[in-house]
Structure 1
Amino acid sequence: MREMIMIGARTLRLTRTVCVWLSLLALVVNMPVSSAAAGSMRSIECFNSGWRFIQGDPFGLGDTLSYANVKAWLLPAIDEFRHFQPSGRSPLQARPKPRASYAQPDFDDSRWRALTLPHDWGIEGPFRQEYPGETGKLAWWGIGWYRKAFQIPASDAGKRIYLDIDGAMSYSMVWLNGHWVGGWPYGYSSYRLDLTPWIQPGRENVLAIRLDNPEESSRWYPGGGLYRNVWLIKTDPLHVAHWGVFVTTPLITPQQALVDLQIVVQNDLTEESEAEVVTRLYEMDETGRPTGPPVASAPSTALHVAPECQAFTYVSIPVAAPRLWSLRDPQRYIAITRLSRSGKLCDEVETPFGIRSIAVDSEKGFYLNGERVQFQGVCMHHDLGALGSAIHVRALQRQIEILQEMGCNAIRTSHNPPAPELLELCDRMGMLVMDEAFDCWQEGKKR
């Protein structure tokens, strides 16, 4: 089996037999964030408030929603994520119609617990001495349901509506207004679902999410629940695709760096579109915002996008006298990509990145910007101690501050992808990251 070192959502294939995700600042950065500029059609809404929660399935459901029974419908919903399909759409296959009352929009959930995400039901206890020590002696396993009622303005008709889930532990299954949407089994991966076919602009909508955390499925404390942030994304039908800006810095000298961008544009219209793409690069200030005039820009690129397909464009932008990202000075830049159709702005996204070089020598070790760096790192699981697995940015920041005070310069995320906020903090604070994909290959250490 070949090693896969994954940087962002793209893969470099090597020849050994280990699989890790490596994020050393971000040789590739492909998680754009919205600028919410005037006229931009993209919006990103924190979707953490107003949820209802209950543990357990409704009476009589049995194994109707076991992973084995829904796998055939669940996986096609995220085919693009699994296979990096460059164009086209998975057809809307016949959705399963389990008689789960909790998924129906007219179900009365008023007796369910009201809460705000992120949420880890395991840390709420109680502790039980009879549980194995590796569980934290907390019951993180079991089934949980979340429901949220929300309004979509009538003015959003015609937009694409997406649900981004940064992490759901685990075997998540999602319904909107009683319709099966999809899900994702792995509790540590971020993923996106398209809500557009079932959204009701101008009316109340009801989202239902079921999680099934198997007992003895982890050899450490994983937590249970919607333990990371959830987002509602709205875009124009012609927009930059999910994780659609891919940045590399292949050539760096003291005088100039070359910044390469691969940009993926998605056309959800039933007619072809002519798009114009412009990207400008800015220095990033301490608050994470662009500062000053552009340090470089690319000329407008015309792009033809077929109906219901994706199209790629590639640009190379030279940056004079680049400021390099390093452990001592984690300087970053922001690529602002603007997408227009017929002179009208359709989308705008911001992609933070760092300019730096990495190299590995079999005898001398790791080099950052031509300087040998000795890894002084730790293995760090995703939980936050007494806070459980529910993501908390200040707690993550405090962990990194303590590690840096003791001389640490690197983190191995044992043994799974961390929350996006951890990677952002490491980029900002000057930490190297070995971003692992998962714990095992073919033989699990647990069932």
Structure 2
Amino acid sequence: MRFGIQVRKSKTVSQRSRELTALIVIALCLICCVGSLSHARERICVNEGWRFTRDDPTNLSVRLCYDEWNFQEVKRFDAEADGNLLINAMGKAGVTNLPLFALKPWVLPTGNAFLKDPARRVNRPQQEPTLTIPYVLPEFDDTHWQLVDLPHDWAIEGPFIKSGNAAMGRLPTAGVGWYRKKLFLPSVDAAKKIYLEFEGVMSYAAVWVNGHIVGGWPYGYATWRLDITPFVKIGSDNIVAVRVDNPPDSSRWYPG
């Protein structure tokens, strides 16, 4: 529901090797080469100019979720009896019978670098998800979406939940949100490793670049990054799409 993001560009191992060789062979270039090494990583803040909308596309033949096992219906409070009756809003809309499609197999591999035991690491599926999601496609027109800067909190805009449980400050924190941004990578970035670094996304984030799912992160209170090098186009615009799914009761306090 809320996150900040940066682009990090790192030179390849072969580039660093050439620079280290130059340091050894050409001692007179030491200062210049050291200066070059100190700029081997470039971090660019890309928090401005995102497009945002609530909920998944209405024309999907499935219901997207992180994991079928722990899937929770998006619910809302309705004023009945004692005011605490949970009503399934999506059930009223008649879409609860759609099959679930879990994004977890493409999200979990993002954490492999933190697992020392290779046996515990998760293999990424060889194929993309077998469905078309309009919001991730480069040609999708998002100009009618809300223009926002990160970090962004959709719940703070309300409306307040006037009945039922007063958790989360009576603000609509639960639900799904989508963010999209166009990133241009100049030709000078060729042969560099390109990462997206997220300072925190609440929660169950999934990320696509140019229509390809890259990975994600289920936990809202952590910084993480994705290597998007295989998915970007150098010298061209790149479309980043982020899906955020914040279930009810996902936090003990307001997560905005």
- Report what 2:43 is aligned to: 44
1:112-144 deviation digits (Å, cap 9, x = unpaired): 011110001111112222142221000011110
Alpha-carbon distance change, 49 to 183 in structure 1, aligned in 2, over 3 angstroms: same
Give the aligned CA root-mean-square deviation in angstroms.
Answer: 2.2
CA distance in 1, matches of 2:56, 2:143: 16
Alpha-carbon distance change, 47 to 53 in structure 1, aligned in 2, over 3 angstroms: same
- Report what 2:227 is aligned to: 194
CA distance in 2, matches of 1:218, 1:179: 30
Q: Which has the higher contact order (CA 8 A, sep 6+)?
A: 2
2:112 aligned with 1:79: yes
CA distance in 2, matches of 1:62, 1:218: 30
For residues 221-236 of structure 1, what are the structure 2 equivalents within 5 Å? Answer: 221-222=254-255
Letter in 2 for 1:55: R
Instruction: Select which of 133, 150, 157 maps to 2:183.
Output: 150
Calculate percent identity across the aligned residue pairs: 46
Instruction: Select which of 129, 132, 138 maps to 2:162.
Output: 129
Alpha-carbon distance change, 199 to 215 in structure 1, aligned in 2, over 3 angstroms: same
Q: Choose 1 or 2 for highest CA Rg.
A: 1
Instruction: Select which of 144, 147, 150 maps to 1:111.
Output: 144
Instruction: Select which of 184, 187, 212 maps to 2:217.
Output: 184
Q: 1:200: Cα distance to partner?
A: 0.5
**3-state SS of the aligned residue for 2:241?**
strand
CA distance in 1, matches of 2:44, 2:117: 27
**3-state SS of the aligned residue for 2:144?**
coil
CA distance in 2, matches of 1:63, 1:135: 29
Q: 1:216: Cα distance to partner?
A: 2.7
Q: 1:89: Cα distance to partner?
A: 11
Alpha-carbon distance change, 44 to 89 in structure 1, aligned in 2, over 3 angstroms: farther
The answer to whether the 8 Å contact 1:131/1:138 transfers is no
CA distance in 2, matches of 1:42, 1:89: 28
Query: Hey, which of these two has a bigger chunk of helix by percent?
Result: 2
Q: 1:47: Cα distance to partner?
A: 1.5
TM-score normalized with structure 1 length: 0.39
TM-score normalized with structure 2 length: 0.67
Q: 1:91: Cα distance to partner?
A: 6.3
Letter in 2 for 1:164: E
* Number of residue pairs matched by the alignment: 185
1:329-365 deviation digits (Å, cap 9, x = unpaired): xxxxxxxxxxxxxxxxxxxxxxxxxxxxxxxxxxxxx
CA distance in 1, matches of 2:171, 2:43: 34
Query: Hey, which of these two has a bigger chunk of strand by percent?
Result: 1
Listed as ranges, the gaps of 5+ residues in structure 1 are 1-36, 223-388, 390-447
The answer to whether the 8 Å contact 1:172/1:211 transfers is yes
The answer to whether the 8 Å contact 1:64/1:98 transfers is no
CA distance in 1, matches of 2:204, 2:124: 22
Alpha-carbon distance change, 208 to 85 in structure 1, aligned in 2, over 3 angstroms: farther
Letter in 2 for 1:116: D
Listed as ranges, the gaps of 5+ residues in structure 2 are 1-33, 68-101
For residues 40-439 of structure 1, what are the structure 2 equivalents within 5 Å? Answer: 40-61=39-60, 63-68=62-67, 69-81=102-114, 83-84=115-116, 93-222=126-255, 389=256
